[in-house]
Amino acid sequence: MEIYGIDHVELYVGDAKQAAFYLAHAFGLQVHGQGGPETGLADQRSLLLRESAVQIVLTSGLASTHPAAAYVQRHGDGVAVVGLEVDNASVAYTELLARGAESVAEPVTYTDGQETTVVIAEVAGFGDVIHRLVERHGPRREFLPGAIQITEPSKGPDEKLFSEIDHLAICVPSGQLKPTVEFYENVFGFLPIFDEYIEVAGQGMESTVVQSPSKHVTFTLIEPDPNRRPGQINDFLSWHAGAGVQHIALRTSDIVEAVSTLKERGVNFLASPSAYYRALPDRVGEVETPIEALEELGILVDRDHWGQLLQIFTESMHVRRTLFLEIIERRGAMTFGSGNIKALYEAKERELQGVEV
Ligand code: FE2
């Protein structure tokens, strides 16, 4: 079994149409399809947004008995499903169960009766998040033939700012990091590629990055250190009511253009102090982009063994201040740099200490 990449993420949200409007108009993702009772999806409305390899499904329950309604009541809006691309969903499902995964749904085949067939099966992941194994045959235009009706892309900003989902960051309760890492190693065959202990304002957090052997699925797992002052990871776990996806990182090939464009459209990003930028040349060497431009936009730079990476966090777009987005450009870097992780969480700390909006 090989896991090739993140096929899609599905968010359960209070109102899929309004969430889609935000992602379409602020982030430039295009609404490409929808499903609901008329396509056999009882008691739900789902909208598919796409840009390049990024696929995000937004689902709302139309009845209080739908799982999306229960999820939103418990967690607020958030990631409920992480779809993983496999070449054979039935084989992957059987293998994962044999290695100890818990079944959520057996394989089901969707077809348009012509050249497109999609097989999906589901297993439990972490918290209330499940993994959907997705096997696709045929043109990429379809998503889930029959269930999601493909529509002409919504009108909206048409520049392509993002290419793929770079990684997901996942918060787990204290004591759960090691078993979660072991779960992804033993069941999914992922490899731990990066470990970091982060100290921010008296808080401590332990983090391990796990990655599929294909290198296209990367999860940054974070747990709070119970021996330090409770902080932002505890806040996330409390506001989200348990383990969950804290941020989705979208990869761009031009972070300066992407952040400038998003700012013009009203997206708020976390800022970093000028001391960070003064120390930058010594820490990461020469940067192709002028440091003043990076400072003006609040973009952070780090490096790993292979090259540089540029990152920034958005403010959370949810009332519970849980899920947010990261924009990342990799200039050779294949992993993460420890300087940025600390700086990103320091920026998050300033947001959380700041004025409520
Ligand atoms: Fe991240």
- 51-78 confidence digits (pLDDT tens): 999 999 999 999 999 999 999 999 999 9
Q: What confidence category does residue 99 fall into, taking pLDDT thresholds of 50, 70 and 90?
A: very high
- Own/partner contacts of 112-116, CB < 8 Å, gap of 24 or more, are 112/138, 112/142, 112/145, 112/146, 114/138, 115/139, 116/141, 116/142, 116/145
Ligand 1 center to 327 CA (angstroms) = 8
Supply angle C-alpha 349, 352, 355, rounded to 5. 130
Domain architecture of the chain: domains with CATH: 3-150 (3.10.180.10), 164-353 (3.10.180.10)
H-run or E-run covering 60: strand 54-61
Whole-number Å distance between alpha carbons of 109 and 93:
13
Ligand 1 center to 260 CA (angstroms) = 19
Whole-number Å distance between alpha carbons of 354 and 351:
5
Ligand 1 center to 312 CA (angstroms) = 9
pLDDT of 355:
46
Average pLDDT, whole number, for the chain?
93
44 contacts 33 by C-beta, under 8 angstroms: no
Ligand 1 center to 171 CA (angstroms) = 11
Ligand 1 center to 140 CA (angstroms) = 28
Percent share of the chain, pLDDT over 90: 76
Whole-number Å distance between alpha carbons of 253 and 98:
40
Ligand 1 center to 345 CA (angstroms) = 10
pLDDT of 356:
45
39 contacts 147 by C-beta, under 8 angstroms: yes
- 187-197 confidence digits (pLDDT tens): 999 999 999 99
Ligand 1 center to 169 CA (angstroms) = 6
Whole-number Å distance between alpha carbons of 293 and 345:
21
pLDDT of 118:
97
Whole-number Å distance between alpha carbons of 124 and 41:
21
Backbone angles phi, psi at 65, to 5 degrees: -85, -10
Ligand 1 center to 76 CA (angstroms) = 21
pLDDT of 113:
86
- Closest by Cα among 148, 170, 164, 130 to 29: 164
Q: What confidence category does residue 156 fall into, taking pLDDT thresholds of 50, 70 and 90?
A: low
Ligand 1 center to 321 CA (angstroms) = 16
Ligand 1 center to 67 CA (angstroms) = 28
H-run or E-run covering 338: helix 338-353
Ligand 1 center to 88 CA (angstroms) = 29
Q: What confidence category does residue 201 fall into, taking pLDDT thresholds of 50, 70 and 90?
A: confident
Question: 157: how many CB neighbours lie within 10 A of its CB?
Answer: 17
- 256-298 confidence digits (pLDDT tens): 999 999 999 999 998 888 888 888 888 888 889 999 999 999 9
Ligand 1 center to 78 CA (angstroms) = 16
Ligand 1 center to 137 CA (angstroms) = 31
The dihedral over CA atoms of 192, 198, 203, 204, expressed in degrees to the nearest 10, equals: 40
Ligand 1 center to 326 CA (angstroms) = 6
Instruction: Check whether 340 has a pLDDT greater than 90.
Output: no
For strands 54-61 and 44-51, give the pairing: antiparallel
Ligand 1 center to 43 CA (angstroms) = 34
Strand partners, 220: 169, 209
Ligand 1 center to 220 CA (angstroms) = 7
H-run or E-run covering 57: strand 54-61
For strands 244-251 and 164-171, give the pairing: antiparallel
- Closest by Cα among 35, 117, 121, 129 to 82: 129
> pTM here?
0.94
pLDDT of 280:
86
Ligand 1 center to 145 CA (angstroms) = 32
Ligand 1 center to 115 CA (angstroms) = 37
Ligand 1 center to 222 CA (angstroms) = 11
Ligand 1 center to 69 CA (angstroms) = 28
